[in-house]
Structure 1
């Protein structure tokens, strides 16, 4: 761990359960099991509009600290590759996701990346906000903070960039191959047998996050991420 002081963030001031030493997979699974709007076109708008936020109320997600995040693909489709011999093998969609995630510190200079893994249908990562960027004239506690520096803004940017590039690739493949349905006979290293429209987000709505506050939690979550491909056969997010 680069700087263990990062885990001693102000999240301890909030009334929440003791920091777990392992990721709460039941909560991650609950997030990933949320139906995608496309599964129920009529009911979805009402359901999603009224869904309770899973973020901590009044917590400043732009402050320095370590965060464990999970994103799932829409309907948990296996679009990023496959697990072979307990190793993740990325296809072209998975490589796009990797490239876009690794651009994050270039876009936001106060961010550094820790362990992460692109799985066939989900993504785990530890991200560090190394320091909080204070706006000129906005340094007092409680004042407005630019949303571009929050965890939520980082995730939205990543989701948007990956969705745009992957949808562009889908349309390119279909234009070249004349396919209107499942992506078949795709160019080398491009996914085949994937039924995506080339429109709309490739990701499940929202995301799961956990504020890491202890070294023990950091170590266990890191190991969980590293060993994710080894445990794919029993992965509850499959």
Structure 2
């Protein structure tokens, strides 16, 4: 068919509707693993100007997405890890008990969507990456994100605590090349 795009395998879980309320562990990488966000010194991340920009924009995600709350972020030289909370229900987003195991799960419908739903994690990440990319050109003219992002639906409080600890300890585990 004319104009048909090549098939791209989605990294999203097929059994999960990403419009559901839950907490999400997010990883976003820089294309070709370039170290643009700063460097690790004495097991601590020291952010570059571009790293500071990425940090500032991450903290603003919930200002642009009324159903999303920023929980945690750890920027590394060539990627970042964070936790976002999506709440499509009325109520308090600050609860630490909002995990996939305690929420109603629904299978994704079989129809294909061209764009992710408004106020979804995918839309928030797409907007975040776009905003950082636009302003990153000042500091790094060749800046590019890796396509997409990785996510993990956090299923319970124990998993949340383990992920949080891993994110916070990431700079201590970094091996410089």
* Correspondences of 1:9-48 after superposition (within 5 Å): none
Q: Which residue of 1 aligns with 2:126?
A: 156
Runs of 5+ consecutive residues of structure 1 not aligned to the other structure: 1-47, 134-140, 171-195
CA deviations 1:16-44 (Å, max 9, x no partner) are: xxxxxxxxxxxxxxxxxxxxxxxxxxxxx
1:119 aligns with 2:119: no
* Corresponding residue to 1:206 among 130, 148, 170: 148
Q: Kindly indicate whether the alpha-carbon contact (under 8 Å) linking 1:70 and 1:209 is maintained by their aligned counterparts in 2.
A: yes
Q: Which residue of 2 aligns with 1:222?
A: 164
The root-mean-square deviation of aligned C-alpha atoms, in Å, is 2.5
**Structure 2-normalised TM-score?**
0.78
**Structure 1-normalised TM-score?**
0.59
1:149 to partner: Cα distance:
1.2
Larger Rg: 1
- What secondary structure does 2:27 align onto? strand
1:117 to partner: Cα distance:
0.4
Say how many residue pairs are matched: 153
| Pair 1:166–1:203, CA change in 2 (3 A) | same
Which structure: greater strand fraction?
2
Q: Which residue of 1 aligns with 2:10?
A: 53
CA deviations 1:43-96 (Å, max 9, x no partner) are: xxxxx9333111122522121100001000010000000000000000100010
Q: Kindly indicate whether the alpha-carbon contact (under 8 Å) linking 1:62 and 1:132 is maintained by their aligned counterparts in 2.
A: no
Which structure: greater helix fraction?
1
